[in-house]
Amino acid sequence: MKPTPSAIVTGSSRGIGRAIATQLAANGFGVTVNYVRNADAAQEVVDEIKANGGQAIAVQGNVAEPTDRQRLVDKTVEHFESIDVLVNNAGITSVGRKDLLEATSEGWDEVFNTNLKGPFFLSQLVANQMLDNGRTSDSQRRYIINITSISAYAVSLNRADYCIAKAGMQMMTWLFADRLADNNIGVFEICPGVIASDMTAPVKAKYDALIEDGLTPIRRWGQSSDVAAAVTSIVNGAFPFSTGERFNVDGGFHIRRL
């Protein structure tokens, strides 16, 4: 019997990751729900998936820590036999949102370790596991999907580390896409705009006003489910001749206007 295809979604106890985890589970993937602190929230996601007939496990792990990354991979393989999809979603915003002339190297390290170095080395681990597992020679394409941000190209002077780490993730997407294309592993970037979540809750009033004023052609907040829909389309095989592609899920924010 063919094993259930599986997906690791980092940072899926809340927000965008949670929506990705539940949509993938609804599409037949066994999901590893990763979290760093919030065990109750992760368990709630697992319970919701199971209540809807899906399969999921919760695995604690800080993506910035090498031993935690290894545990995430080991637990997933132990439970689901292989890894078919990795979604590098876990991320933090800039610590203290300091002006770039005041930013600290400690804040930079925290953001870079979580938002860029962690995803890079987790992708390396997962890619090696996918290759070892030997199923890459069959027709089933596998995927690594990186959740970046419009901050990869739009300047925020109080989040320099976040912007630079997200910009780096675009190059990371191209690098892995090129390296893994012969192995039938597609690598994609999803670039969300302003999405309602705990991360954006502290700046809600600011974005309410900007959206009202026409920040985006589609004049509303993005929802986690909007981002999850893009991930699900990709891993369901909608783009067989694409890799390294950036998908904007931003209400049209990226369109330059006069």
Ligand X SMILES: NC(=O)c1ccc[n+]([C@@H]2O[C@H](COP(=O)([O-])OP(=O)(O)OC[C@H]3O[C@@H](n4cnc5c(N)ncnc54)[C@H](OP(=O)(O)O)[C@@H]3O)[C@@H](O)[C@H]2O)c1
Q: According to CB under 6 A, which one of 8, 9, 11, 75 is a site residue for ligand X?
A: 11
Catalytic residue among 35, 143, 153, 162: 162
- Could you say which residues in the range 179-208 bind ligand X, by CB under 6 A? 192, 194-195, 197-200
Do strands 246-249 and 6-9 pair parallel, antiparallel, or not at all (unpaired)?
Answer: unpaired
- The residue count for binding ligand X (CB under 6 A) is 31
Q: Are 19 and 228 in contact (CB under 8 A)?
A: yes
> Using CB under 6 A, which residues numbered 20 to 59 contact ligand X?
34-38, 41
The answer to whether residue 89 forms part of the interface with ligand X (CB under 6 A) is yes
162 in catalytic set: yes
Region of residue 28 (left: phi > 0; alpha: psi -120 to 50; beta: else): left
Pairwise CA distance, residues 233 & 54, whole Å = 18
Residues 143-182, mask of contacts with ligand X (x by CB under 6 A):
----x-x---------------------------------
CA distances (Å), origin 109, targets 78, 99, 118, 160, 184: 32, 16, 11, 12, 33
Smallest distance, ligand X to C-beta of residue 152, A: 9
Q: CB under 8 Å to 172, separation ≥6 — which residues?
A: 116, 119, 120, 123, 146
Contact residues for ligand X, defined by CB under 6 A: 10-17, 34-38, 41, 62-64, 89-92, 114, 147, 149, 192, 194-195, 197-200
Catalytic residue ranges: 162
